[in-house]
Amino acid sequence: MRYTFTAAEDNHEPTRGYLHGTLETACCGLSDVLSFYEIPKEARKAIYVLDFGNRVEVRYVTGWNHGDIFLQPFPLSQGTRPDNGRPVDMSGWMIGPRRAFHLKLKEVPNDGAA
């Protein structure tokens, strides 16, 4: 799915500016791709709160290429790995303090064009 987003540029009240861009969500273990129209300084060191309107999901940065930032969901310590059936244990995995961006998402309708 493809979304556009708006995010507050800072925590000042009222906010002094907004960030805009696009998000392409992926399936099957692939990364979501986040693109800012103007990339903020700490974009690669942040976590992202994706606000779909009816649910919220948190992502962390796994990499980047030019203006694109690749995101993955936080891993959970439950279930089994799909490739070999072994239990998942992410109990030692954690991220320290980060800046967070709250992305208010709006779905881009699929017009059927390829």
Rg (CA), the chain: 16
8-50 residue pLDDT tens: 998 889 999 999 999 999 887 789 999 999 999 899 999 999 9
10 domain residue, yes or no: yes
Domain membership of residue 71 (yes or no) is: yes
Tens-place pLDDT, residues 39-95:
998 999 999 999 999 999 999 999 999 889 999 998 887 778 778 888 888 888 888
Higher pLDDT, 51 or 112: 51
Number of domains in the chain: 1
Name the residue range of residue 39's domain: 2-77+95-107
The token duo for 95 is: 């991220």
The H or E element that residue 75 is part of is none
pTM given for the model: 0.84
Whether residue 64 is contained in a domain is answered as yes
Q: Is the Cβ–Cβ distance between 37 and 43 less than 8 Å?
A: no
The token duo for 46 is 């942040």
Residue 112 belongs to some domain of the structure: no
Instruction: Give a yes or no: residue 82 inside a domain.
Output: no
pLDDT value of position 81 = 78
Flag whether 19 is in a domain: yes
In a domain, 87, yes or no: no
Is 85 within a domain? no
Q: What is the pLDDT of residue 66?
A: 87
